[in-house]
Amino acid sequence: MKKLLIIRHAKSSWDYDVSDKDRPLNNRGINDANLLSKHLINKVKDVDFVFSSPAIRALHTSAIFMRNLDLNFERFLIEKKLYDFSGNDVKNFLKGLNNDYNTVMIFGHNHAFTSISNIFGDQFIENLPTSGFVEIIFDVDSWNSITNGHSKSIIFPKHLK
């Protein structure tokens, strides 16, 4: 079995004159990332590896989740293919994951993460909001074989407020 944990970056700020990759989180984003990650403390276990887009908003979101879930930062990498908005690079990245990893957590962007959630999951999501979480289970032994998985859990910050 393979388990994919998808988290869209938290709400970012448009208040700074910086490149897209350098946009920071705003206060709501920080609060929502803390709220959702703390909600997952007893639900997310045995994460083998965490990958994040190189964008600051995704990196900051991943750091909040990893800290609150007490995940090992030695099992974390920045992955350029997650700075994707269509989903093609994300899909190719997932299909190439190391099969020693059974549970992988990824942090990235829309529209890619909504697409990936709908391509691989069995519950349609119109839009994965910022700090949105999707857990998809695959009954396969190889990441290259993932196709139709089961959307075990879908949690948005608004569900917790």
The half-sphere exposure of 96 on its side-chain side, counting CA atoms within 13 A, is 9
Domains of the chain: 2-13+22-160 (3.40.50.1240)
Least Cα distance to 117 among 92, 144, 153 occurs for 153
Does residue 28 contact residue 156 with C-beta atoms inside 8 Å? no
Least Cα distance to 155 among 2, 29, 33, 20 occurs for 33
Least Cα distance to 120 among 96, 99, 137, 106 occurs for 137
pLDDT number for residue 58? 98
pLDDT number for residue 124? 97
Does residue 123 contact residue 156 with C-beta atoms inside 8 Å? no
Per the DSSP assignment, residues forming a β-bridge with 2 are: 138
Identify the residue whose tokens are 């093609």.
Answer: 88
Least Cα distance to 61 among 16, 118, 5 occurs for 5
11 falls in which pLDDT band (50, 70, 90)? very high
Note if the pTM is more than 0.85: yes
Share of the chain above pLDDT 90, in %: 99
pLDDT number for residue 131? 98
Model confidence over 23-57: pLDDT tens digits?
999 999 999 999 999 999 999 989 999 999 999 99
- CA–centroid distance for 78 within its chain: 12
Identify the residue whose tokens are 């139709």.
Answer: 148
